[in-house]
Amino acid sequence: MERATFAAGCFWGVEEAFRTLDGVQETAVGYMGGETENPTYAQVCSGETGHAEAVQLNFDPAVISYAQLLERFWAQHNPTSLNFQGLDVGSQYRSAIFYQSEEQRQVAEQSKAELVASGKYQQPVVTEITPADTFWRAEEYHQQYVLKNRPACRGL
């Protein structure tokens, strides 16, 4: 098993997009990349903790590669939006790849470079690629939120 952590806006839909992939064994939503220890949702939403809403997943690399996870990541959000996705505004909604190893960093950097070279976006890709630090699991009501509360939205 390997672990991957991504931030791409509100973590509810992002988790659902990864949770349903073959090879993804477990997902959790939480907070990463900030200064506050054990932050709450309210604290993160204030924008003052420095954390991003993130999705952490355990995956089987024999079934799905990290590069394939990155493909889903890029397709799930607008990586040219600095500190917002859709109607969600603030640094907690930034685009970020939190790598767990040097190999993940290299694959992420290559994937980002390929996206930029593709010309898909006219604006700069602002996704940060940074080492993973402590993942603070969000409150239980946020876990698998779409699955539990909005079954009509499962097709994200």
Task: Name the catalytic one among 4, 7, 8, 10.
Answer: 10
Quick: pLDDT tens for 69-128.
Answer: 999 999 999 999 999 998 899 999 999 999 999 999 999 999 999 999 999 999 999 999
pLDDT confidence of residue 151? 55
Domain that holds residue 110: 2-153
Q: Please write down the HEC assignment for all residues of 67-108.
A: HHHHHHHHHHCCCCCCCEECCEECHHHCEEEEECCHHHHHHH
Distance, in Å, from the CA atom of 137 to the CA atom of 139, rounded to the nearest integer, reads: 7
Does 153 score more than 90 pLDDT? no
Q: List CB contacts of 134: < 8 A, sequence separation 6 or more.
A: 32, 37
Banded pLDDT at 156 (limits 50, 70, 90) = very low
Query: Would you call 153 a catalytic residue per the annotation?
Result: no
What is the total count of domains within the chain? 1
Quick: pLDDT tens for 24-78.
Answer: 999 999 999 999 999 999 999 999 999 999 999 999 999 999 999 999 999 999 9
pLDDT confidence of residue 149? 85
Give the CATH number of the domain where residue 65 resides: 3.30.1060.10
Q: Where are the alpha helices (DSSP H) in the chain?
A: 11-19, 41-45, 66-76, 102-118, 145-149
Between 134 and 148, name the one with better pLDDT: 134
